Amino acid sequence: MAQVTFRIFRFDPEKDKESRYQDYELELEPGITLLNSLNRIKSEQDSSLTYRMSCGSAICGSCAMRVNGHALLACKTQASGLVKDGVIQVDPLGNMEVLKDLVVDLEPFWKSLKQVDPWLQPDVSDNPENERLQTPEQFQRIDDATTCILCGACYSDCNVLGVDQEFLGPASLAKANRFIFDSRDAKTRDRIEFISEMNGVWDCTHCGECSTRCPTEAKPLARIMEVREAAMQAGVHNNNGARHALGFRETVGRSGRLNENYLPPRSVGFLNIPALIGLAPVGLRMFMRGKNPPIIHHSIDKADEVRKIFSKFEDYRHHPTRSSRPDDGASD
């Protein structure tokens, strides 16, 4: 059995002015999870070590924490794979305040989730007497999104939340997806319009952290991309994100190549004078260095092939389901 140092973040607001790391030595039994390692440290070495846990079976979502800088579920991860130079560094989740040791204040996470009305809102005008049934195919459409266990791993590592807590965040956007694509929900349009606003679905950089850290099949980035596609199809285009996507379709669809001079004004809106003025400084800086994109936009060779593909745009819309598209995230 290998001897490993667990370097664990410690902070007790009643005693400590600053956080610190404390080292614990543990012999790793083969196959032991990170959570059981922490349980052993707590029961055998230091009962004051504080962390959340409950089911130990990757269902309750309580034991998410950061290891070597990345969020994961402690009960679902074997400790042996986490050792780096004899050490496993354990930190609390990011993007939230630490209450004690590995326990964070999840309130911002719950608050963002509530904003997307995470409950089914069917049309009740027909006063149904029976429950609303779904076909297996209808359920399959939302199957992945429903697997979210609200562990907060995606919220912890989301790059945008790291600079702006007003962003709705990956878990909330994946939850919005779960109701937007639910065959029984009647608020689809309202939901799409809400998340198309500032701090919503278009503010995600698709950095991929959320899907990489997600311990289930919920894979928020894939859900975000699906919702963007739904917003484009629903014609909810009055925002910079949708106009940006339209700009891509227009220039690549015509010439096979992105027109970098066209895209910025197209995204902010050709009549949005303040925003256009806002683009001027960088445009000028680039122009002065000769770094501006060519004034005359050139097509790729054989651009007619690309135009033909784009001409069937609506025919090639395909509605991904779990069975027809691989998941957009790390697999287990």
Partner 1 sequence: MSLKYALFTGCVAKGAGRELMTATELVCRKLGIELVEMTDAACCGAGVISEDNEMVADIINARTFALAEERGLDIMNICITCQGVHRKCQVKLSSNPDYMSRVNAALKEQTGREYKGTVKIRHFGKILLEDYGLDKLRQAVTKPLSNINAGAFYGCYALRPHEYSDLENPDDPDEMERIIEALGAKPVKYPERLKCCGFPILMMNKRNSMALSGNAIKSAKDAGSDCVITQCPLCHLNMDAYQPEIDPDLNMPIVHIQQLIGLALGMSHDDLKMNTHIVRPTGAVASI
Residues 140-199 that bind partner 1 (CB under 8 A): 159-160, 162-164, 167, 198-199
Nearest one of 209, 223, 215, 211 to 332, comparing CA atoms: 215
When asked if residue 274 is in the footprint of partner 1 (CB under 8 A), the reply is no
Task: Measure the CA–CA gap between 74 and 90, rounded to whole angstroms.
Answer: 10
Q: Candidates 3-11, 39-47, 139-147, 279-287 — which segment interacts with partner 1 by CB under 8 A?
A: 279-287
Contacting residue, 244, 272, 276, 322, with partner 1 by CB under 8 A: 244
Least Cβ distance, residue 222 to partner 1 (angstroms): 9
Measured in degrees and rounded to the nearest 5, phi and psi for residue 95 equal 60, 10
DSSP 244: H
When asked if residue 273 is in the footprint of partner 1 (CB under 8 A), the reply is no
When asked if residue 81 is in the footprint of partner 1 (CB under 8 A), the reply is no
Nearer to partner 1, 142 or 222 (CB): 222
DSSP 202: G
Nearer to partner 1, 132 or 319 (CB): 319
Nearer to partner 1, 112 or 211 (CB): 211
Nearer to partner 1, 50 or 140 (CB): 140
Nearer to partner 1, 101 or 203 (CB): 203
Instruction: Give the x-and-dash track for 216-235 against partner 1 (CB under 8 A).
Output: ---x-x---x--xx--x---
Neighbours of 125 (CB within 10 A): 7
Positions 284 through 303 that interact with partner 1 (CB under 8 A): 285-286, 289-294, 298, 300-303
Nearer to partner 1, 103 or 232 (CB): 232
Contacting residue, 50, 140, 248, 272, with partner 1 by CB under 8 A: 248
Instruction: Give the x-and-dash track for 83-122 against partner 1 (CB under 8 A).
Output: -x--------------------------------------
In the Cβ-directed half-sphere of 49, how many Cα atoms lie within 13 Å?
Answer: 24
List, in sequence order, every residue forming a beta bridge with 89; answer none if it has no partner: 7
When asked if residue 258 is in the footprint of partner 1 (CB under 8 A), the reply is yes
Nearer to partner 1, 132 or 206 (CB): 206
When asked if residue 39 is in the footprint of partner 1 (CB under 8 A), the reply is no
Nearest one of 59, 61, 64, 58 to 94, comparing CA atoms: 64
Nearest one of 331, 113, 71, 329 to 222, comparing CA atoms: 329
Contacting residue, 138, 252, 272, 322, with partner 1 by CB under 8 A: 252
Element (H, E) at 8: strand 2-10
Positions 54 through 73 that interact with partner 1 (CB under 8 A): 68-70
Measured in degrees and rounded to the nearest 5, phi and psi for residue 73 equal -95, 120
When asked if residue 139 is in the footprint of partner 1 (CB under 8 A), the reply is no
Q: Are strands 87-91 and 2-10 parallel, antiparallel or unpaired?
A: parallel
List, in sequence order, every residue forming a beta bridge with 27; answer none if it has no partner: 3
Q: Which residues of 227-258 are buried (b: 16+ CB within 10 A; e: fewer)?
A: bbebbbeeebeebbbbbebebbebbbebbbee
Residue 95 region, left (φ>0) first, then alpha (ψ -120 to 50), else beta?
left
Least Cβ distance, residue 45 to partner 1 (angstroms): 28
DSSP 35: H
How many residues bind partner 1 (CB under 8 A)? The answer is 79
Contacting residue, 238, 263, 271, 280, with partner 1 by CB under 8 A: 263
Task: Measure the CA–CA gap between 224 and 204, rounded to whole angstroms.
Answer: 8
3-state secondary structure of 166: coil
